Amino acid sequence: MEGKDVLARARTGSGKTAAYGIPLIQKILEAKRVAREQSTKALVMTPTKELCNQAYKNIKELTTNCSREVRCVDISGQSPLEAQRPLLMEKPDIVIGTPSRILAHIAAKNLHLKSSLELLVIDEADLVFSFGYEQDVKSILSHLPKIYQAFLMSATLSDDVKSLKKLVLHNPVILKLEESQLPETSQLTQYHIKCEEEDKFVLIYALFKLKLIRGKSILFVKNVDRCYRLKLFLEQFAIPSCILNSELPINSRCHIVNQFNEGLYDTIISSDENIVQNPEVKKEDKYKKKRKQDKEFGVSRGIDFQFVSNVINFDFPVDVDSYIHRVGRTARGDNKGTALSFVSIKEMPLLQQVEAALSDTATEGENVFKPYQFKMDEIDGFRYRARDAMRAVTKIAVREARLKEIKSEILNSQKLKSYFEDNPRDLQLLRHDKSLHTAKVQQHMKNVPDYLVPPTLKRLRHGPIRDRQERSNKPRRGGGAHRGRSKGQMKFSKTKADPLKSFEFAGLRGGKKKKKSS
């Protein structure tokens, strides 16, 4: 409020958006008391479209009681520049967008900031350069006035943030919260379990079906193909989930996040591509055809998934920062959360790096990661079912699932532009956790028979076995056919009723029993 430049570092989920949003609104309101002239006074830049959408919603909520005085627009969507031109011609007080989109509007002369801008915010500043926006930011700065107040908000103080600080800030006040990178062990519990590739699928199937995972969950995998492979695998056991990756349109991605936050479904499978997070990482196969991905996409970074109980690293992240941002989706604010990582032998060095980096979050004498107490030999019965399901998830099934999903999303995005604007209630009918059904689904796989349930969990699942046996042995009340009959008589009548054991068949229309010849 004193007008000084600010560099703030605080862990993900600590409320950085409100920390700059509230004084932003206050300064605009104070300026309007003196002069009523309408102009764009604040510019908010974030590295991804999802974060733009999230910041826009947060600021709209903060301006509920002063929406006529403070107007805010988000220009990061897929709409063409011409369609957004009327919004910017009204000179909204706050403009939110990605650096490339803001620069495009400046070049098209839709956005004029040279004479009016007073406040500049760069949110998630540690990602701006890693997403390839360095030249865009420098170009934008050349179109800004000489004097303005700037805010840099970041989860980490990396070298990129220091470079950005030199470009944007002048004698800033540095706010560095003295806190660990992740919540304390009393709020966030981190588990790991050692398992190889096949065991990962068996384990995730068993955890969901035995209801050891409860609440809203995000499963992180290493690429888009793994998303569809895991979704098709879970589909065969009637475990609903939806996919979030960089190949989906921005409208669908934001809609998935909104519906997840509203509680319409509980499980998201998210790809966490290395190329998107770190452009310097080379592709595994340079001869593979490059798929079209949105470079302004990042699921693990900054997006506010609400009330997430579990984060499951199906594939362990490639570096410490990725782990911090993934696990930061849970245990936000005052809520508690759990992080479970599946770790193969090849991924053990990565686990050790994360453990060394996060040693400050654990109390003395304790490790950051607790071993997940689960006996793999107790779920051997699940293994043959998992193998049957994996055989159905072929490369062709994955490819067909991707094509089906992308085609349906293209159609849905067209409807979102026209039809759903006139029919907002029907928007709720668009769900993203529908089954793809490109792999053959067998009905018997949906249920888990009692003989597959580990003995240690049977008591928790069905109650004491002895009580059930005693209830089944008690004679039924009333004048039924079983009243007053001994166990031998009941067994004899049951055997006689079975034509395979008695060799007697009453016929299709009833009548006299016919003796079958042996």
Residue 350: CB partners within 8 Å, gap ≥ 6? 316, 317, 318, 319, 343
Residues 209 and 389: beta-carbon distance below 8 Å:
no
Please, what is the average pLDDT of the chain?
A: 81
Amino acid at 33: R
Is pLDDT above 70 for 286? no
Residues 189 and 339: beta-carbon distance below 8 Å:
yes
Which pLDDT score is estimated for 273? Answer: 55
**Which tops the pLDDT comparison, 361 or 203?**
203
Q: How confident is the model at residue 186 (pLDDT cuts 50, 70, 90)?
A: confident
- Strands 242-244 and 6-9, by their bridges, are unpaired
Distance (Å, whole) CA 340 – CA 343: 10
DSSP 298: -
Residue 322: CB partners within 8 Å, gap ≥ 6? 272, 277, 300
Residue 355: CB partners within 8 Å, gap ≥ 6? 367, 368, 369
Amino acid at 142: S
Residues 168 and 129: beta-carbon distance below 8 Å:
no
Residues 118 and 42: beta-carbon distance below 8 Å:
yes
- Vertex 401: Cα angle to 400 and 404 (nearest 5): 85
Which pLDDT score is estimated for 329? Answer: 87
Which pLDDT score is estimated for 407? Answer: 65
DSSP string, 257-286: HHHHHTTS-SEEEEE--HHHH-TTSPPS-T
Q: How confident is the model at residue 11 (pLDDT cuts 50, 70, 90)?
A: confident
159-168 and 134-141 helices, crossing angle to 10°: 10
User: Which letter, b or e, does each residue of 265-284 get, where b requires 16 or more Cβ atoms within 10 Å of its Cβ?
Assistant: bbbbbbbbbbebbeeeeeee
Task: Give the pLDDT confidence of 222-247 residue by residue, as tens digits.
Answer: 988 999 999 999 999 999 999 988 87
Is pLDDT above 60 for 413? yes
Which pLDDT score is estimated for 274? Answer: 43
pTM: 0.70
Distance (Å, whole) CA 516 – CA 518: 6
Q: How confident is the model at residue 445 (pLDDT cuts 50, 70, 90)?
A: confident
Q: Which of 1-5, 61-65, 334-338, 450-454 has the lowest mean pLDDT?
A: 450-454
Residues 267 and 94: beta-carbon distance below 8 Å:
no
Beta strands, E only, 240-375: 242-244, 267-271, 310-313, 337-343, 370-371
H or E element: which one contains 31? helix 16-34
Q: How confident is the model at residue 289 (pLDDT cuts 50, 70, 90)?
A: very low
Is pLDDT above 60 for 466? no
Which pLDDT score is estimated for 176? Answer: 84
Task: Give the pLDDT confidence of 143-157 residue by residue, as tens digits.
Answer: 999 999 999 998 777
Closest CA to 209 of 375, 466, 336, 386: 386
Residue with tokens 């006299």: 512
Q: How confident is the model at residue 292 (pLDDT cuts 50, 70, 90)?
A: low
Tokens of 445: 């796989």
**Which tops the pLDDT comparison, 365 or 379?**
379
Strand order in the sheet with 42-45: 72-74, 94-97, 42-45, 119-122, 149-154, 6-9, 173-176
Is pLDDT above 50 for 479? no
Q: Which of 35-49, 89-103, 152-166, 285-299 has the lowest mean pLDDT?
A: 285-299
- Vertex 130: Cα angle to 127 and 135 (nearest 5): 105
- Vertex 311: Cα angle to 307 and 317 (nearest 5): 140
Is pLDDT above 60 for 213? yes
Which pLDDT score is estimated for 472? Answer: 46
Distance (Å, whole) CA 515 – CA 101: 84
**Which tops the pLDDT comparison, 126 or 194?**
194
